[in-house]
Chain A
Amino acid sequence: MSDGLHPAVVSAQPSQRDEKNPDAPLFEGEYQDRLEKILSRYPFKRAALLPVLNMAQQVRGWISPDTIKRVAEILELSPAYVRSVASFYTMFQLRPAGKYLIQVCTGIGCDLCGAEDVVEGLLKATGTRIGETSADGKYTVVEVECLAGCGFPTMVQINDRMYENVKAEDVEGLLKELD
């Protein structure tokens, strides 16, 4: 195994790459090894669906219909079933997102502490609407339920990085920091 990762963590390796190629080859080279490691952890192939989808998203940035078919083929499932599972979890992007996927928690805790203003500020600053990608292809803002940081509202996650205690007035600085 080229990267020496333990099977239990290979699929959870955060991908810090901002630029992703939606047509990148899936499960080749290094990722072929990772796939085999993932499969080795489970008694049957279907059980590996979530980590395999996770890895596919890391490689390509989103779960395209083509990716779904490929994953279904590898795990011997029906493509419809793979789409069903992928759509159940909001962490899987079923549409291409911008270079920066900005997830804002609007769960009860963050909401009470002004999450709506943060969302509004972000939408204004990026010139998009919820779930849409800005014209320059850079930003996608979405609302999520909980980012497991309720002690630090409002929680914002941009790609794989978490930002705590975000206020509406922090939005501009936040976006600048990205570029």
Chain B
Amino acid sequence: MNDEKKLLNVTIDGVELEVPAGTTILAAAERVGAVIPRYCYHPGLSAPAVCRMCLVEVEGAPKPLASCVQPVQDDMVVHTNTAQARKARRAAVEFLLMNHPLDCPICDAAGQCELQDYAFETGQLKTRYVEPKLVMGRDKVTPEIVYFADRCILCTRCVRFMDEIAKDPVLVVINRGQRGYIDTMTGELFENPFSINIVDVCPVGALVNEDFLFKARAWDLDQTASICPGCSQGCNVSLGTKEERIVRAKPRFNPEVNSYWMCDHGRKTVINWGAGARIEVPMARDGDELKPVDWPQALDALSEAIGNEPGRARAIVSAGASNESLFTLRRLMEELGSDGGVFRVPTGPEAELPGFPKLKLRRDRVPNAKGAELLGFQRSDAVFDSAQGHRGALFVLEDTLEGAPDGFGTNAELFVYIGTRLNPAARSADIVLPSTTFAEMAGTFTNFEGRVQRFEQALRGPGLARPWWLTGSALLERLGAGGRYRTAAEVFAALASEVSEYEGLNYEVLGLKGAGAPGSSAAATAG
């Protein structure tokens, strides 16, 4: 067992470094910034060394070694980019391209394709192969994933994901050599709650998600660090956006939460989160009608209504609202005298990823139930009961009000609806304020175990929609109840100084990987 701690000396491309015993050459090389080309190797999977792409020259070795499986030995001298290593890789790429259709112009993976990258790098602009190419066609492997057999380089990453991580060994290589392809036992479709990860691990364009097929070129997408709102797990994701729309979500590596993976439910939730007609302007009641107004008018109307002392405040909030927005509402309710707020949590069946059991599609299909709880809101199965007969001030923050009883909110002296969609029940509000989705603002969610994670703004909100913490803090300033916050970071700092569970946390500590509970006192793994 002492071996594990032993440090070995290794020289890679002239740089000397010490690595723990058992480190592969590939991993050691990454530490000195030498990225060795690879196809079959994926950091989240085992390495079978089948692609022969990561060959490097090691002094004293009779032939190039596969760096993804070769452990470093003491005093090893490695050259990752000598003529011998380059020649070996060039040959590997040449074989892979032999029957490859070279259909990059219509391939979804173009621009993010490792085959493209390395073919370019090895400089083979022309093929020496003159025989007709083998054509194999395409097929679906799940209802959502299309497999292009011609593009496949048989790296078996997808096979190993299903085998080792999903523990559902449905995918295998059929036949051998150039006739090889990936398929299931019967050739029928398979289903798995984590299936789309095989698209992520595919280094080429062989496995593509139909949801994204022909939607956008990889280089046209803006990438934004975010958090998946699909359940209380809080998977770290990267939002790919184009022309103010989310076109895809990919998992962002976080060893504490989701590793390299995320579930299919989450991907769909991210894409559909802001879809549909949105509230784009503030509205204030004028007799029987809601009339569009601008923000100063809306805030005037709201502060006047609050000045009239409508009575104690109750709220229905969404557990999809950010901590900052929830905190701002809590402050406002405290001004009026808070009667407490409730939130509801839609649930669904749980699904675990057996190869990385920390990651589950959780029962609670909202991102911030824990955050709402820590800020003093009550989880409830009957959110409308407490609000229904309430005669004071009633706030609804981002709850859709789906399923609200007839005449909801009509008894309230003041009914304020803050949200993204104007459902019929929201039309009886006195004041309607448009707010933004998680993708249209910066903020934080607190996941099921109390880990606080930041998300960044990826899109502009529609029309005049603003994050509620921004308008709410402007309102609080008018009421003389606190400073005005201009960034979500400032709101969070105020929140952290008031709520003990968040003590010691701020946006810098959170970084992009989050921090806080478990084992807290702000257990920081700053990213």
- Report which A residues bind B (CB closer than 8 A): 65, 68-69, 78-84, 87-88
- Complex formed: what's the CA distance from A78 to B183 in Å? 13
Q: Which of B170, B174, B175, B186 contacts A65 (CB 8 A)?
A: B186
Residue of chain B at shortest CB distance from A81: B172
Q: Contacts of A79 on B, CB cut-off 8 Å?
A: 185-186
Number of interface residues of B (CB under 8 A): 12
Q: Contacts of B171 on A, CB cut-off 8 Å?
A: 80
Q: Contacts of A82 on B, CB cut-off 8 Å?
A: 185
- Report which B residues bind A (CB closer than 8 A): 169-176, 183-186
Q: Contacts of A68 on B, CB cut-off 8 Å?
A: 185
Chain A interface mostly: helix
Q: Contacts of B170 on A, CB cut-off 8 Å?
A: 78, 80
- Complex formed: what's the CA distance from A81 to B163 in Å? 10
Q: Which of A69, A78, A87 contacts B174 (CB 8 A)?
A: A87
8 intermolecular pairs with C-beta atoms under 8 Å apart? A78-B172, A80-B185, A81-B172, A82-B185, A83-B174, A84-B174, A87-B175, A88-B173
Q: Which 10 pairs of residues, A with B, have the shortest CB-CB distance?
A: A84-B172, A80-B185, A79-B185, A78-B169, A80-B172, A87-B174, A88-B176, A87-B175, A83-B185, A80-B170
Cβ-Cβ contact count across A and B, 8 Å cutoff: 33
Q: Contacts of B172 on A, CB cut-off 8 Å?
A: 78, 80-81, 83-84
Give the Cβ gap from B200 to chain A, nearest Cβ, in Å: 21
Give the Cβ gap from B171 to chain A, nearest Cβ, in Å: 7
Q: Contacts of A80 on B, CB cut-off 8 Å?
A: 169-172, 183-185
Q: Contacts of A87 on B, CB cut-off 8 Å?
A: 174-176
Q: Please determine whether B173 and A84 come into contact, CB atoms closer than 8 angstroms.
A: yes
- Complex formed: what's the CA distance from A78 to B176 in Å? 19
Q: Contacts of A83 on B, CB cut-off 8 Å?
A: 172, 174, 183, 185
Residue of chain A at shortest CB distance from B170: A80
Give the Cβ gap from B446 to chain A, nearest Cβ, in Å: 40
Tell whether A81 pairs with B169 under 8 Å between CB atoms, given A65-B186, A68-B185.
Answer: yes
Give the Cβ gap from B348 to chain A, nearest Cβ, in Å: 28
- Complex formed: what's the CA distance from A78 to B173 in Å? 13
- Complex formed: what's the CA distance from A84 to B173 in Å? 6
Residue of chain B at shortest CB distance from A85: B172
Give the Cβ gap from B149 to chain A, nearest Cβ, in Å: 14
Q: Contacts of B183 on A, CB cut-off 8 Å?
A: 80, 83
